[in-house]
Chains A and B, each alone.
Chain A
Amino acid sequence: DIVLTQSPGTLSLSPGDRATLSCRASQSVGGSYLAWYQQKPGQAPRLLIYATSSRPIDIPDRFRGSGSGTDFTLTIKRLEPEDFAVYYCQQYDNSVWTFGQGTKVEI
């Protein structure tokens, strides 16, 4: 199974800063089947990005996904107070889904 490794584990930033989160796969992720989720305490994860760089209609455009192969990035252009949360990447390959261990974005 493909293992996803996220870095850094914790990102300490301020509102208005740019956040860059990394997700590295142990082998190439086919079909661009790479997604990102945001999770706040006590809540279910929320889909932010799918197919590497596509955004659901209700997600603000300050969230951008990019990458290919084994290296993927989630960029948050200007952090809003509500963006401080944990972020997970997820991939699909050969009928198996896996998640990264998460990156916490804290003030």
Chain B
Amino acid sequence: QVQLHESGPGLMKPSETLSLTCTVSGSSISNYYWTWIRQPPGKGLEWIGYYYHSGNTNYNASLKSRVSISMDASTGQFSLRLTSVTTADTAVYYCARSDSLDYFFDSWGQGILVTVSS
């Protein structure tokens, strides 16, 4: 059974760098897109970006200048780094796995709320 679990700080100050980790268990790393998605309180889902097992990445154009996603296959963890956070980055952050044939998210973490406040 595939499980994903997010970890990281719950509270941050503006201008800091957000670092989140997703621990994957029960899944091969290959042939999946390891993805971060966020959801501001009371709002919809926003795709942030992915890391593919080959090392390829791609990011939401609106965040591209501030975001990076990396993966350590040996530990089964992938990470999100978002620089210069503002209150607009307050959201529940989910890690998820996307299939590489039909490009849907079949496994999700439970989500972690990150609040940016001075």
Task: Give residues in A with beta carbon < 8 Å to B.
Answer: 1, 31-33, 35, 37, 43-47, 50-51, 54, 56, 88, 90, 92, 95-102
Q: Which residue of B lies closest to A94 (CB)?
A: B58
Instruction: Give the interface size bracket for B toward A.
Output: 20 to 34
In the complex, A34 Cα to B99 Cα: how many Å? Answer: 13
Chain A residues within an 8 Å CB radius of B108: 44-46
Instruction: Please tell me if B28 contacts chain A, counting CB pairs below 8 Å.
Output: no
Contact A51 B102 (CB under 8 A): yes
What string of 1s and 0s marks CB contacts (under 8 Å) between B76-108 and chain A? 000000000000000000100011001111101
Q: Which residue of B lies closest to A101 (CB)?
A: B44
Contact A47 B106 (CB under 8 A): yes
Known contacts A45-B45, A88-B44, A102-B44: does B103 contact A97 (CB below 8 Å)? Answer: yes
Q: Which residue of A lies closest to B48 (CB)?
A: A97
Best-buried of A33, A44, A100 by chain B (most CB within 10 Å): A44
In the complex, A101 Cα to B44 Cα: how many Å? Answer: 5
Known contacts A1-B61, A88-B45: does B110 contact A33 (CB below 8 Å)? Answer: no
Q: Which residue of A lies closest to B57 (CB)?
A: A95
